[in-house]
Structure 1
Amino acid sequence: YVAAKHGIAGLTKTVALEAATFGITVNAICPGYVWTPLVEKQVPETMAARGLTREQVINDVLLHAQSTKQFVTAEEVAGLAVFLA
Structure 2
Amino acid sequence: MLNEKHDLIHEFPEHKALIHTLKMENSHFARLFDEYHDVDHEVRRIETGAETTADEYLETRKKQRLLLKDQLFEMIQKELTA
TM-score, normalised with respect to structure 1: 0.31
Relative contact order (alpha carbons < 8 A, sep ≥ 6): 1 or 2 greater?
2
From the CA coordinates, give the structure whose radius of gyration is larger. 1
TM-score, normalised with respect to structure 2: 0.32
Higher helix share: 2
